[in-house]
Amino acid sequence: MIIGLDDTDSKNGMCTTYLTAVLIEKLKGYGTIKGYPLLIRLNPNIKYKTRGNAALALPVELNRSADAENVKQLVTSTLEEMAVFSEENTNPGVVFIEKTPQRMQNDLSLFSMRAVQDVLEIHEALELLARHGISYRGYKNKRGLIGALAAAGFALCGLPDPTFELIAYREKERWGTPRWMDEDSVWAAAATPGTWDTADYENKRIVFAPHSPDPILFGIRGRSEDAVRCAFLMIKSEPVERHVVYKTNQNTDMHLISAKISDVQDDRSYILDGRVSKAPKTIEGGHVIFEISDTCAALECAAFEPTKGFRHLIRQLRAGDEVTVYGSVKERTLNLEKIKINSLNLYESRNPLCCGKRMKSMGRGQGYRCEKCGATRKEPVTESLQRNISPGFYEVPPSARRHLAKPLVRFDMPPAASSCAH
* Smallest separation (angstroms) from ligand ATP to the CB of 51: 4
Q: Which is nearer to ligand ATP, 15 or 354 (CB)?
A: 15
Minimum distance from residue 246 beta carbon to ligand ATP (Å): 12
For residue 377, the tally of other CB atoms under 10 A from its CB is 16
Taking CB under 6 A as the binding criterion, the range among 27-35, 47-55, 75-83, 281-289 that sits at the site for ligand ATP is 47-55
Measure the CA–CA gap between 2 and 34, rounded to whole angstroms.
9
Q: Which is nearer to ligand ATP, 8 or 419 (CB)?
A: 8
**Segment 1-40, which members bind ligand ATP (CB under 6 A)?**
6-7, 9, 15-16
With CB under 6 A as the rule, give the number of residues binding ligand ATP: 24
Closest to ligand ATP by CB, 216 vs 334, is 216
| Closest CB 336 distance from ligand ATP, rounded Å | 21
Spatial contact of 129 and 149, defined as CB atoms under 8 Å apart: yes
Per-residue interface string for the shown chain with ligand ATP, residues 102-121, x marking contact by CB under 6 A = -------------x--xxx-
Residue of 24, 33, 46, 381 interacting with ligand ATP (CB under 6 A): 46
Near ligand ATP by CB under 6 A: residue from 48, 175, 187, 394:
48
Q: Which is nearer to ligand ATP, 147 or 398 (CB)?
A: 147
Q: Which of 3, 54, 83, 317 binds ligand ATP (CB under 6 A)?
A: 54
Taking every pair of Cα atoms in the chain, the longest distance, rounded to a whole number of angstroms, is: 100
User: Which amino acid is located at 385 in the chain?
Assistant: L
- 50-58, 197-205, 248-256, 371-379 -> range binding ligand ATP (CB under 6 A): 50-58
Query: Of 290, 210, 265, 283, which is closest to residue 45 (Cα–Cα)?
Result: 265
Q: Cα separation of 413 and 227, whole Å?
A: 13
Q: How far is the CB of 49 from ligand ATP (least distance, A)?
A: 4
- Quote the least distance from Cβ 341 to ligand ATP, whole Å: 31
Amino acid at 235: I
Q: How many residues does the chain have?
A: 422
Q: Find the binder of ligand ATP among 2, 42, 199, 254 (CB under 6 A).
A: 42
Closest distance of CB 57 from ligand ATP, Å:
13
According to the binding rule CB under 6 A, does residue 402 interact with ligand ATP?
no
In the region spanning residues 124 to 183, those forming contacts with ligand ATP, defined by CB under 6 A, are: 143-144, 146-147
Rounded to 10 degrees, what is the CA torsion of 212, 253, 338, 294?
Answer: -130
Q: Does 249 engage in binding with ligand ATP (CB under 6 A)?
A: no
Number of H helices, E strands in the chain: 9, 26
For 140: left if phi > 0, alpha if psi spans -120 to 50, otherwise beta; the answer is left
Report the phi/psi class of residue 212: left, alpha or beta, with left for phi > 0 and alpha for psi in -120 to 50: beta
Q: Is 28 helix (H, G, I), strand (E, B) or coil?
A: helix
**Terminal C-alpha separation, the chain:** 37
- Is 91 a binding residue for ligand ATP by CB under 6 A? The answer is yes
Q: Is 43 in the site for ligand ATP (CB under 6 A)?
A: yes
Closest distance of CB 62 from ligand ATP, Å: 26
Contact in structure between 25 and 242 (CB atoms under 8 Å): yes
Shortest Å, Cβ 11 to ligand ATP: 8
Does residue number 51 form part of the binding site for ligand ATP (CB under 6 A)?
Answer: yes
The single-letter code of the amino acid at 245 is V
| Nearer of residues 52 and 306 to ligand ATP, judged by Cβ | 52
Report how far residue 108's alpha carbon sits from residue 334's, in angstroms, rounded to the nearest whole number. 29
DSSP 159-220: -SS-EEEEEEEE-GGGTTSPP-B-HHHHHHHHT-TTEE-SEETTTTEE-SS--SSSSEEEEE
User: Which residues are near ligand ATP by CB under 6 A?
Assistant: 6-7, 9, 15-16, 42-43, 46, 48-54, 91, 115, 118-120, 143-144, 146-147
